[in-house]
Amino acid sequence: MKLKWMGILLGTVLLCGGCQSMLPKAPGLATAAWAAQNYQRQDQLEIQWKEHSFSFLLYQQQQGSKLEMLALTLTGQQLFKLSFDGRKVHVEQRIEQMKLLPFEFVVRDILYATYPNFAQLQQQNIRVETSAQTQKVFINQQHVLNIQQQDDAIELNNVQVPYQMVISRINDGLENSDVESTNLESTE
């Protein structure tokens, strides 16, 4: 009887462990041109997916070639912590409710919307059509994202999943190191 229950438990663990690896990979994320730099940004994100909507604070910090993202609820509870090294998203911590969240897609979309010139780092089949304040991102000839820049926010519409995200920059507390990293690049 014990052997039967151990077999069921082991099978369940293997099946659930395979769930994460079964999530699709996000095309247009990995880049060979990823470079080390100093970069910081903090935003408030509001996401609408199906009938669910939620808000959280997102802190991005890159020192060297590792970009870290930390998400907190508006009351300070940590939702997830992850890093991106130019090739892969490494989820370090997450709450149970976010266990099956496709972090690669979320990170990819945030980087296309907020990271300086991320689309230009791609050497894959990426095309960005820009008109006025709107960008349409095509990956492998498939329309995947609409990004609309506004004065105080970025509206992101993932047309594949689909979900909508509004990214509002928070300037208090962090220096704008976009300018600093541009200056570093021009002196090399």
In eight-state DSSP terms, residue 98 is G
Q: What is the pLDDT of residue 49?
A: 80
> Do 78 and 131 meet the contact criterion of CB atoms below 8 Å apart?
no
Q: What is the pLDDT of residues 14-37, one digit of tens each?
A: 334 444 445 568 889 999 899 999
Here the tokens at position 147 are 């990004």
Residue carrying structure tokens 């972090």: 103
Global pTM reads 0.78
Sheet strands (E) in the chain: 37-49, 52-64, 66-72, 78-84, 89-94, 126-131, 134-139, 142-149, 154-158, 163-169
Read off the pLDDT of residues 38-55 as tens digits, 9 standing for 90 and up. Answer: 999 999 999 888 888 889
What local confidence, expressed as pLDDT, does residue 65 receive? 95
Residue 56's alpha-carbon distances to 34, 46, 71, 127, in angstroms, are 27, 7, 6, 30
Measured CA to CA, the distance from residue 14 to residue 9 in angstroms comes to 9
**Domain ranges (residues) in the chain:** 26-187
CATH 2.60.40 at 26-187, yes or no: no
Q: Which segment of 72-81, 102-111, 118-127 scores lowest on mean pLDDT?
A: 118-127
